[in-house]
Copies of this chain bind each other. A is one copy, B any other.
């Protein structure tokens, strides 16, 4: 059951604290400019990863890791790799040939700040670097754990996951998508990546499959609720608060659950998903309360 009367400010402050701590790890892992010809690439990788963001996916990794006594250093390296992949996907999605978005997290998107070629390559480099970090022995002493992280994260990133979802998003105007197709799209685009971000903590902790699956399902639901809230903010939100342009989905004729179900029913669906998500946390004690509260946060956030 969802907890009654969650302390929204407490969740937000935990997110902020976690994001600050992750920032240090991102900053440490990212290459530094070193007076070489490719410094522009490194600058773009840093620009797009270190810009402010909610850092919800890495937050899931870190909070799930805490449930299994995983070392903070391991958890943060995996969380950073997940954020690199998220940054890669935002850079490429914003490109003129894709969503053509000039604003991201309140700042010029990567290709506006640099140029298109640099944005393509910075996204590519972040994607490759994520797997380099995951595979490095500093991430976990057990190579079986590292390789499982690589495999699972690569799978939800690729054609079956985020990238496949983005392809559908690009083609959507030319197709008629109903409720089941949109739900499948949102699982691919957002749900599965949330799922693996959270499961990663359990993989690091060598948790049994039952608990891994519980965390996956929790986070998949959270992810889709998060996506619906994003789509609601696109319809109703304020650019000054969200830090990105609004009313884009309509302009781009994107298939969203808000458009499919209407505002009220979409909001109810997101609430239902968040409630269901919390039920999957039943095997965990009060240490999972942050994750329980997060389920509320993702649906009532204004940014």
Which positions in A face B, CB cutoff 8 Å?
Answer: 31, 37-38, 40-42, 45, 88, 92, 95, 97-98, 115-118, 120-121, 123-125, 127-129, 131-132, 134-136, 143-144, 146-148, 150-151, 154-155, 157-160, 163-168, 170-172, 175, 177, 181, 185, 188
Cβ–Cβ contact A38 & B168, under 8 A: yes
Cβ–Cβ contact A127 & B125, under 8 A: no
Chain B residues, Cβ within 8 Å of A92: 120-121, 124
Number of copies: 2
Select which of B37, B95, B125, B167 is within 8 A of A171 by beta carbon.
B37
Closest CB in chain B relative to A244 CB, distance in Å: 19
Closest CB in chain B relative to A285 CB, distance in Å: 31
Q: A124 to B177: give the CA distance in the assembly, Å.
A: 25
Closest CB in chain B relative to A282 CB, distance in Å: 31
Cβ–Cβ contact A163 & B124, under 8 A: yes
Chain B residues, Cβ within 8 Å of A160: 31
Cβ–Cβ contact B125 & A159, under 8 A: yes
> Could you say which of A37, A134, A181 has the most chain B C-beta atoms within 10 Å of its C-beta?
A37
Given A38-B168, A97-B117, A121-B167: 17 more A-B contacts, CB < 8 Å: A31-B159, A37-B185, A38-B164, A38-B165, A38-B167, A40-B171, A95-B117, A98-B120, A121-B166, A121-B170, A125-B164, A128-B157, A128-B158, A129-B159, A132-B154, A135-B147, A135-B151
Chain B residues, Cβ within 8 Å of A41: 159, 163-164, 167
Cβ–Cβ contact B159 & A136, under 8 A: no
Chain B residues, Cβ within 8 Å of A185: 37
Chain B residues, Cβ within 8 Å of A127: 124, 127-128
Chain B residues, Cβ within 8 Å of A151: 131-132, 135-136
**8 shortest interchain CB distances as A-B pairs:** A97-B116, A135-B151, A132-B154, A128-B158, A41-B167, A135-B150, A143-B144, A38-B164
